[in-house]
Structures are given as structure tokens and as C-alpha cells.
């Protein structure tokens, strides 16, 4: 059995002698990673400025190869990009992504809720249901 996660990304309608965590290289890497996400968030908000259609979705897929046959389990959560950053938990686009059926962003909902309704959770749930059947 071979399980692989395929990241299908984030879609918008419009168009790791001390542990590595303590090294300066690791700290610089983490800072660079955070800066990259922050700048991406700012760029996204800028590109959507003035646009009415702010629909978006997170999508992921997990591939299971069993006895030479591939099974694909996809998770999608739809929502919209709000106009300003809200909330402190999560990462990436969580502060500006408000899932359908919720009034708060992923960052405001917190990791416990997000990890139950996210695109990854939905794909893993489908994989587990398949393995249990």
C-alpha cells in the first residue's frame, strides 16, 4: 500500500549538534517562511481590492495505491476571501478565508474547528471510510 498526498492548492474564482529548532539557520528559515506567507496574503488582498467575486476554495487530494490500482480522495472547502485579516491561529490564508456556512475566518475559528472541516480533514475522512469498508 502506498499513500501520497497531493497538494492541489488554493484556488480563487477570479482568475526542518542542537535540534534544528534552535539553530540560527532554522530561525532564519522560519522567518523567511512567515514573511513569504505574509507577503502572499498582502498580495492576494491587493489583487482582490475592489472585486466583488471573492469566492475561493482550498483543495487537496490523497492518492492511495492498493494492489496496483490508484484511488483518489479529494477534499474541498469553499468559501470567500474577506477584505481584511482577522484572527490569530493557523497560517497562510487562514486570516482571510471564511468558509461557507461560517461567519468567522479559519484563523478566528481556531485549529480545533479548522482541523475538522478543512480540505485535508475531508480528504482524510474519505480515505478512512474507504479503508474501513
Q: Which long-range contacts (CB under 8 A, 24 or more apart) does 29-37 make?
A: 37/91, 37/92
Contact 79, 98 (CB under 8 A): yes
- 1 SS3 class: coil
Dist CA 130 CA 43 (whole Å): 39
Q: Give pLDDT, residue 20.
A: 45
**Residue 8: pLDDT above 80?**
no
Burial of 22 (0-12, 13-18, 19+ CB in 10 A): exposed
Contact 122, 77 (CB under 8 A): yes
Dist CA 9 CA 120 (whole Å): 11
pLDDT in tens, 69-123: 999 999 999 999 999 999 988 888 899 999 999 999 999 999 999 999 999 999 9
Give me the sign of the Cα torsion angle 103, 108, 110, 114.
Answer: positive
pLDDT in tens, 31-78: 565 666 677 778 888 888 898 999 999 999 999 998 999 999 999 999
The distance from CA 39 to its chain's CA centroid, rounded to whole angstroms, is 16
Amino acid at each position: 500500500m502506498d499513500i501520497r498526498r497531493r497538494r492541489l492548492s488554493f484556488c480563487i474564482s477570479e482568475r526542518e549538534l542542537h535540534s534544528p529548532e534552535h539553530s540560527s539557520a532554522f530561525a532564519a528559515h522560519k522567518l523567511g517562511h512567515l514573511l513569504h506567507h505574509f507577503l502572499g496574503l498582502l498580495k492576494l488582498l491587493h489583487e482582490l481590492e475592489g472585486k466583488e467575486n471573492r469566492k475561493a476554495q482550498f483543495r487537496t487530494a490523497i492518492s492511495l495505491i492498493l494492489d496496483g490500482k490508484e484511488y483518489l480522495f479529494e477534499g474541498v472547502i469553499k468559501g470567500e476571501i474577506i477584505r481584511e485579516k482577522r484572527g490569530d491561529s493557523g497560517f497562510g490564508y487562514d486570516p482571510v478565508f471564511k468558509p461557507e456556512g461560517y461567519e468567522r475566518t479559519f484563523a478566528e475559528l481556531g485549529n480545533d474547528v479548522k482541523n475538522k472541516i478543512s480540505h485535508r480533514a475531508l480528504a482524510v475522512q474519505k480515505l478512512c471510510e474507504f479503508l474501513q469498508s
